[in-house]
Amino acid sequence: MKNKNFQIIVSSLLIAFIFSSYMSLSSFMASGENIRNNVLRLHIKANSDSDEDQSLKLKVRDEILKESPEIFSGVKNLKDAVKNCENAKKKIQKTAEKVIRENGYDYSVKTEIGRSFFPVKTYENEVTLPAGDYTALKITIGEGKGHNWWCVMFPPLCLPAAEGEKTLSDVLDENEESLVKSNPKYEFRFKIAELFEKICSKSK
């Protein structure tokens, strides 16, 4: 009788733990979805992994980031950010091409705005974005077979925000802001969610 009662208690605790974990992960996934729907990322792919091509990628990045404050001036949300980026796409394309030509290369440049899968990423300012599909400005240099460079254009995490510009605190609620500022090394849900989002992204 005692063994049966013990088994019932253990089973109840296990069910409670599974339910609690499921609810926690569900809340985490919902927060991740809202985060992904409020930021615009920058995704630059180098022609190759040679030192020269990687250096060129960073030079293109630097020039694009110099133009970012002007492009996103007064932007309040992702919709406006995408609209401004679409309007500036030709200018961004010409800037990238100019940098490439000035450095003695004849690589082609492809500039587009669309959804891309990003893994979990922690930036120097200790902000961690969960994995998943994000809207991104994608710049592909040449064959685009080199390592990527990622950052966030809106809100402006790639460079200090100008006075009055939107910050993460403005586009995320308190729980979501707490999430992106947590340490993924001790947050197992980041990896579980990343695996789930990767599977979902590949199935689309």
How does pLDDT run across 36-90, given as a tens digit for each residue? 888 899 999 999 999 999 999 999 999 998 888 888 888 888 999 999 999 999 9
Q: How many residues does the chain have?
A: 204
Higher pLDDT, 4 or 23: 4
Residue 22 confidence (pLDDT): 43
Residue 43's DSSP bridge partners are: 138, 150
Tokens (6 digits) for 87: 């309007």
At 137-157, the pLDDT tens digits run 999 999 999 988 888 888 877
The answer to whether 130 touches 32, Cβ cutoff 8 Å, is: yes
Which DSSP letter does residue 119 get?
-
Mean pLDDT of 19-29: 50
Residue 20 confidence (pLDDT): 47
Helix, strand counts (H, E) of the chain: 7, 6
Separation CA 132–CA 90 (nearest Å):
27
At 99-137, the pLDDT tens digits run 999 999 999 999 999 988 888 777 766 777 888 889 999
HSE of 109 in the Cβ direction (CA atoms, 13 Å)? 25
The answer to whether 142 touches 45, Cβ cutoff 8 Å, is: no
Separation CA 116–CA 202 (nearest Å):
11
Mean pLDDT of 155-175: 64
The domain segmentation of the chain, as residue ranges, is 33-203
Sorting pLDDT into bands at 50, 70 and 90, what band is 23?
Answer: very low
The answer to whether 98 touches 76, Cβ cutoff 8 Å, is: no
